[in-house]
Amino acid sequence: MKKKRFSEEQIIGILREAQAGIPVKELCRKHGFSDAMFYNWRSKYGGMEVSDAKRLKALESENARLKKLLAESMLDKEALKVALSGKY
């Protein structure tokens, strides 16, 4: 998996610079990312504090873990159904 170049704290700092009035093009050139990335960040992290972003990341990882557990349990259930029905 590709490593991120910017942490949530850095992203929120960049968004705050934009709110302070620095033009988006200048921010992109200064920090080395594209306009599209800025607008993606703004849609995801706009209005968040650093603590909110950390909580979001923790919730996303927990959600991924729970989805994996659910998929595994559904697979086990299906395997038991097949084994008990005798139709291999």
Q: Please give the chain's pLDDT, 88 residues, in tens.
A: 566 788 888 999 999 999 999 999 999 999 999 999 999 999 988 888 989 988 988 999 999 999 999 999 999 999 999 888 876 6
E-only strand ranges, the chain: none
Identity (one letter) of the amino acid at 55?
A: R
Kindly report the pTM of this predicted structure.
0.65
Rounded to whole angstroms, the Cα distance separating 16 from 22 reads 9
What's 11's DSSP letter? Answer: H
Rounded to whole angstroms, the Cα distance separating 61 from 39 reads 23
